[in-house]
Amino acid sequence: MKIHEYQARELLANYGLPVPSAEVITDPAQAAAAYDKAVKEAGLSPTDGLVVVKAQVHAGGRGKAGFVKLVNSSKDATDAAAFMLSNRMVSNQTGPEGLEVKKLLIAAGVDIAHEYYLAITTDRDTRRNVLIASAEGGVEIEKVAEENPDAILQQPIDPLMGLQPYQSRKMAFDLGLKGKQVGQAVKIMTALAKLFVEKDCSLAEINPLILTPPTDAAPDGQLLAIDAKFNFDDNGIGRHKDLQAFDDKAEANPAEARAEEFGLSYIPLDGSIGCLVNGAGLAMATMDTIKHHGGDPANFLDVGGSATEEAVTEAFSIILSDEKVNGILVNIFGGIMDCDTIAQGVVNAAKNFKNPDGSTGFQIPLVVRLEGNNVDAGRATLEAAADRLPTLQAASDLNDGAKKVVEAVG
Ligand code: GDP
Ligand code: MN
């Protein structure tokens, strides 16, 4: 699960990390008041204080896309807000269709002496979490990783001992931090490591972590988190009420959200052959076998071990809502799942499916392979409905099914 920047900032603040305060708005008419409030709280000039307006979407690269704007007046804040809320954001992380922006964050702008990168994620090679940092943080971190990998520093985190203070101190010195900055950095890294584990994160990233220029009150400057991104392990979400409240359904892919509602795991892909399978392993084997015969799967869809007839009907309608789909392979091995339940679902979906010309019933090729629990009843159900399923072909096994659907799709 992903969350918005304003939610990430709230989470960081709860763990004691230094984050400037911010407001969220949904309408350009709210921008002027948010500007006034931000400059007032930060003690900046009410007429030309620096304020940042930022699109809240589940994607980065906003700065380069023009969806992070620094403004110096309430009028410019309003204009920036109007632009962002009425244009889709296309960045290097969104794909060409871009994302609709529904919320904006408005915060007092901070002066930046230096931008750092700081993150924790899991390194699958070493099977450990790893603290990653760079003195070349900011909007070009992907380029740094590619062109100057030595500028990306790492400290592996022992799974039992956790991130040790000496590791954070070493990281701070390696980043070139000095004086009071080191203590600030250690506190930030320690808190981030605690948050990462306690909230079942798969990624916790602060980019940039900034250093402010020196002042009389803080001669070494101050480290602040001004952008953050989190991903969470979906299998851990069930035990975090606070994270569940962060789930923004409006940002999710509509087909994926519908699938989740019915307990289906669905991942859209680029191909043309829709797959309806029970079990993640079988679903992957099905996709591989389709590929082996020269076809391209349109999706991964696991209806699970105990899907209801409604869930199966829904699974078909999700697959068929993808316009690229011009053939479907149903591959069911009935263990817990009753093959007849799947067969009933197929018949229902076929009966109810509306074609663009107003007629009902599948027009695209449908290949069904059923095996296992109650398979005879399942096959009988399909045969009894044969007049409604003119494009149906039965397959004897997975290989036969994949071959038939690839041939039928052409
Ligand atoms: P991203 O492009 O989606 O990662 O958005 P960020 O929030 O990281 O902002 C991109 C860049 O905008 C940062 O790296 C900063 O250089 C700049 N920026 C963001 N907020 C401020 C601010 O308060 N003051 C200044 N001076 N620059 C900012
Ligand atoms: Mn950023």
- Cα–Cα nearest to 366, from 345, 387, 390: 390
Per-residue pLDDT in tens (0 to 9) along the chain, 410 residues: 899 999 999 999 999 999 999 999 999 999 999 999 999 999 999 999 999 999 999 999 999 999 999 999 999 999 999 999 999 999 988 878 899 999 999 999 999 999 999 999 999 999 999 999 999 999 788 899 999 999 999 999 999 999 999 999 999 999 999 999 999 999 999 999 999 999 999 999 999 999 999 999 999 999 999 999 999 998 999 999 999 999 887 787 778 888 888 889 999 898 999 999 988 999 999 999 999 999 999 999 998 877 777 888 889 889 988 889 999 999 999 888 889 988 988 888 887 877 778 888 888 999 999 999 999 999 999 999 888 788 999 999 999 999 999 999 98
Torsion sign across C-alpha atoms 87, 90, 93, 97: positive
Given the CA of residue 112, which atom of ligand 1 is nearest to it? 26
Scanning the structure block, which residue is given the tokens 């989740």? 260
Q: Cα 179 to the chain's mean position, in Å? A: 38
Distance 244 CA to ligand 1 centre (A): 27
- Cα–Cα nearest to 329, from 315, 308, 310, 341: 315
Q: Which pLDDT score, from 0 to 100, does residue 321 have?
A: 86
CB atoms within 10 A of CB 294: 11
CA distance 223 to 115: 9
- Identify the H or E element spanning 105: strand 104-108
Q: Which two tokens stand for residue 336?
A: 């817990």
Q: Which two tokens stand for residue 392?
A: 């149906």
Label residues 372-385 b or e (16+ Cβ within 10 Å = b): ebbbebbbebbeeb
Given the CA of residue 63, which atom of ligand 1 is nearest to it? 2
CA distance 265 to 280: 9
Ligand nearest to the CA of residue 52, numbered in listed order: 1
Given the CA of residue 65, which atom of ligand 1 is nearest to it? 2
CA distance 316 to 350: 9
Which residues have any ligand 1 atom within 6 Å of their CB? 52, 54, 60-63, 68, 70, 109-110, 112, 115, 138-139, 207-208, 226-227
Over its C-alpha atoms, the chain yields an Rg (Å, rounded) of 26
CB atoms within 10 A of CB 192: 25
Peptide linkage before 18 cis (omega within 30 of 0): no
Q: Which pLDDT score, from 0 to 100, does residue 387 have?
A: 82
Active site residue 310: no
DSSP state of 249: G
Q: Are 371 and 332 in contact (CB under 8 A)?
A: yes
Residue 127 region, left (φ>0) first, then alpha (ψ -120 to 50), else beta? left
Nearby residues of 143 by Cβ (< 8 Å), 6 or more positions away? none
Nearest alpha carbon, ligand 1 atom 23: 109
Q: Which pLDDT score, from 0 to 100, does residue 252 have?
A: 75
Distance 21 CA to ligand 2 centre (A): 17
Q: Which two tokens stand for residue 160?
A: 């039992």
Q: Are 265 and 259 in contact (CB under 8 A)?
A: yes
Q: Cα 334 to the chain's mean position, in Å? A: 32
Q: Cα 291 to the chain's mean position, in Å? A: 26
Terminal C-alpha separation, the chain: 37
- Cα–Cα nearest to 53, from 9, 112, 137, 109: 109
Length of the chain: 410
Ligand nearest to the CA of residue 105, numbered in listed order: 1
**SS3 call for 246:** coil
Q: Are 369 and 397 in contact (CB under 8 A)?
A: yes
Torsion sign across C-alpha atoms 194, 198, 203, 204: negative
Q: Which pLDDT score, from 0 to 100, does residue 88 have?
A: 96
Which residues are within 5 Å of ligand 2 (an ion), measured at CB? Answer: 207, 227
CA distance 149 to 126: 18
CA distance 332 to 327: 16
CA distance 205 to 188: 12
Q: Which two tokens stand for residue 293?
A: 């015969």
